[in-house]
Amino acid sequence: MTAAVSPATRRQLLEAMQRLLAGTPQHTDGRLTKNNLYREAGVSRATMNRASDILATWDAHVSRSPAGTAARRRDDDLDRLRHDLKASRARCRELQHHLDAAATVIAALAAENDALRRQNADTASRLVVPLRRDPAGR
């Protein structure tokens, strides 16, 4: 197997991995991420990516660690919450459409009601009902 990175870079990456996994980082916040791995090692991301065997070891350690389990649980929770949020937004849009339709119907009925009241008032004012007098004068 030909080395994709120099022996010095391998040593830097392995030491950085050990510090991160032990919880004693020197150059990062200590989270178990690949970003922190290459920063802790003081190499570029491209250099780290060429060390595929070290990355495989990193992934194996992180997936078994409590932090890896917590990260997977967090990612699963985020996926579920994103799905729930998408469904809630769709339901809100549907309810807003119903509300808009109801408001349109209410406005039309109110306008029709006002027109009928005006028409009724006009008709009532034109109606003259003669009073009959009682022939006996009462």
Please write the tens of the pLDDT for every residue from 24-61. Answer: 999 999 888 899 999 999 999 999 999 999 999 998 88
pLDDT at 18: 94
Distance in Å from the first CA to the final CA of the chain: 129
pLDDT of residue 58: 93
- pLDDT value at position 120? 86
- H-helix or E-strand spanning residue 73: helix 66-126
Identify whether the C-beta of residue 77 lies closer than 8 Å to the C-beta of residue 98.
no
pLDDT attached to residue 10: 96
Q: Please, what is the Cα angle at 71 between 65 and 76, to 5 degrees?
A: 130
Rg of the chain over Cα atoms, rounded to whole angstroms, equals 39
pLDDT at 72: 77
In the chain, what are the domain boundaries?
Answer: 7-64, 80-125
pLDDT value, residue 135? 73
- Is-contact 36 46, C-beta < 8 A? no
Which pLDDT score is estimated for 128?
60
Residue numbers of the chain with a pLDDT score lower than 70: 1-3, 124-131, 137-138
